[in-house]
A and B are shown apart, each in its own frame.
Chain A
Amino acid sequence: MAEQNAAPTNSTARITVRKTYKLYIGGAFPRSESGRSYAVTAADGSFLANAALASRKDARDAVVAARGAFAKWAGATAYNRGQVLYRVAEVLEGRRAQFVDEVGAAEGLDARAAGLVVDAAIDRWVWYAGWSDKIAQVLGGTNPVAGPYFDFSLPEPCGVVAVVAPQQSSLLGLVSVVAPAVVGGCTVVVLASEERPLPAVTLSEVLATSDVPGGVVNVLTGRTAEVAPWLAAHMDVNGLDLAGAAPADVQGLEVAAADNLKRVRRPDPREDWAAEPGLDRLRAFLETKTVWHPVGI
């Protein structure tokens, strides 16, 4: 990023092509319909880029896109979902250098530290990708009911999940909240870290080029306090991960989410994004379906 913003030092120096950061909705990269953008600065306060400032309409469009993608994504075979998600990790790895720059600038890390964060994010994505065809075996099962019935339970995605991404951890935190939702078959509208949104936009470029169907992950950038309430109150959103919500806003968002009894995952202030995540986040947006059938001849 530093290079992109460096001023030309002499008349023969090349003028850098500055990147325009946009939203990612339904597999396309629109600007905010509101036409608004906001300045994103590095950890040291220097200007990095302008990012789109998502509006209520953008949030609603993203939910429509996520809903539209849900049936196909949830209905894909687990093997297929795992392949698609692993492909994301491959493309992430290929763009490693860019992420190291962006994460370093956003989080104020030197190249080595940023590299470790990016590696962890890629590994996290791989870890979750591998869960796609194992979740049902670990979280499902047959139930030994007292009667002549075959009865089994299996996990199913709850639908569209709105995610307020972690504010500090711009890539590892983001991956840690998006991957567990999509690997289970949910589709996602994620609101990127407000101050550190650029790695999220770059991640959406990765998603767009890695076989993930449009609409499965939708990325909004903008003001968390402005957009999160629209997502929390949206009646076609089924789950809400409040990982990056400000403590003062959590209660209001949970109250809004109660209108259609969204599955809410509350933020954990002690969350350590570098730690092994366990199954909690995977389980948070899965329903359990139990099917009964008589046994006899």
Chain B
Amino acid sequence: MPQHIKLKRGFTINLAGKPEKTVSDAPPSDTYALKPTDFLGMIRPKVSVNEGDIVKAGAPVLFDRKLEAVKYCAPVSGEVVEIKRGEKRKLLEIKILADKEIVYEEYKQYSISDLIALGREEAQEQMLQGGVWPQLIQRPYGIVANPTDTPKDIFISTFDTSPLAPNYDILLKGQGNFFSAGVEVLKKFTEGKIHIGVDAKAEVSSVFSEAKGVVTTKFSGPHPAGNVGVHIHHVSPISKGEIVWTIDPYGVVQIGKLFLKGVYDTAKTVCLAGSEVSKPQYYQTHSGACIDKIVEGKIEHRNVRYISGNVLTGEKIESTGYLGFYNHLISVIPEGDEYEFLGWMKPTTDKLSFHRALGLLSFLNSSKKEYVLNSNMKGEERAFVQTGIYEKVLPMDILPEYLLKAIMAEDYDEMETLGLYEVIEEDMALCEFIDVSKHDIQGIIRQGINLLRET
């Protein structure tokens, strides 16, 4: 029997615009992009192609000069049409005009039985060249894993509890064999265990149940129960000097495909959801797709915000922007750039609140009520005043207020001892949502992580 961990702390945000369980083919996008900004640990990105070059899907186009072994590959085949840079020549996007038929860079193919006998070095070499390595994320810091490390354990969360989250059963339908193959490859990288966190409330999907030699733990409770960071904290917490790796189930499937099919296959199912989408559902596309064709004709209003990822941790993009490397969700919510008369005082049941202060009557609604929330800040930034609230949405033995203050004071010892090794932005996103003082908590966490990495 798998261990069942029941989490009490957290808050599930029930947004309107959940997807139906149908999957359609999205009209193919013209352009696809690889965004170095998606890779948080990347310090000195370097493009290895020029505008006008023709590339195959799975051909290396980018690397980090601090971690040269890891190659970032083209998601589709075609012509490199633009290498977009921002201020101080910061590399923003490598855009590829896609071929109608994708041509793949070919890598060595293996059978399942080959994989069992495969050695770490050989597997690692193929993963580094074949574009799937960046799916491995290192904790602490939430950065792309370093191939020279050996992690204590590897963690995979098979469910997502964030608002409008897609269902992995649908995202990975029929790809159980690739998932099992991916897990088989991952086993070579750790002497510890491969941990899989599953949703205790749902039946374990056949995609995951076929994988052998993994340790399954059930989790139940409100968001962030699906966050891999929370799983790590409860199963095998990270201390100073320890490294664990995490990987998204889609990444595991990609690894499986690289070895079983011999190609870097970036086909992915994405979810288009949110209150502003006329018919929220799933679409077939490829990693890094321009979202214009996917959202075209499906958005009900004009003044909306497109987010690659979920509303808590995603990135705001344009209607012609590109899907992030790690995202399977495009959220569309109303842009809240409006003034509201006495908005801070009006009694309402329509605005969602974790708190019960004056006039915030959303707690009277049924837990099934769905909310339409816009991007307004609902107040101004202030000093820390309310205490003891962050803990209520962070199911970890961490004192968030003290951790945040340690980062703001740039106190390295305190950051370490108060648990900065255990969290990344997504774990603290709910703290930012419920924050009375409207701090950029995720920004502060990344600032702290960057400080620790420098030392």
Whether chains A and B associate is no
**A residues whose Cβ falls under 8 Å from a Cβ of B:** none
**B residues whose Cβ falls under 8 Å from a Cβ of A:** none
